[in-house]
Amino acid sequence: MRIDIDDIQIKDRLRRETGDLSLLMRSIKQVGLIHPIIVDENNQLLSGYRRLQACRQLGWKKVVVKVVPVGDDKVRGLDWEFHENLGRRDLSEQEAQDYIESRNRLLHPEPKGIWQRIKSLFRKLIGLFKRKK
């Protein structure tokens, strides 16, 4: 469901600092909002504060939300915010580098041929030695 971004109410939050939103904004700009903003039935923000702020900075007027009924259960609302952030883990530097290399290979595939195959095998061998550091 999409709602006006200005209709989302923000009250007491565990997370007060957004940190640098530039990477998140680039991600949202490139592929869209992967995970919706979570609100209760009164459009009170439960989780997705950084995503919401990034969308605002991108100039979005509407945003995709998932509505979770919590009623008067303030503990349930607090649990939503806490548990969304609990199991999150950033990519390691190597995982991020692997993404960049895989994406580049898909965008710029190497021509086929015996010399290209030898070159590819050689690169894989080098990659194996680099990872053992």
| Sign of the CA dihedral with 101 first, then 35, 59, and 14 last | negative
Q: Are 71 and 34 in contact (CB under 8 A)?
A: no
| Inter-CA distances, 36 with 2, 48, 62, 121, Å | 9, 8, 12, 42
pLDDT score of 36: 96
Task: Please state the pTM of the whole predicted model.
Answer: 0.73
User: Which pLDDT score is estimated for 70?
Assistant: 92
The series of mean pLDDT values per 10 residues for the chain, 133 residues long, is: 96 84 96 95 93 97 96 88 79 89 87 78 82 56
Supply the pLDDT for residue 64.
97
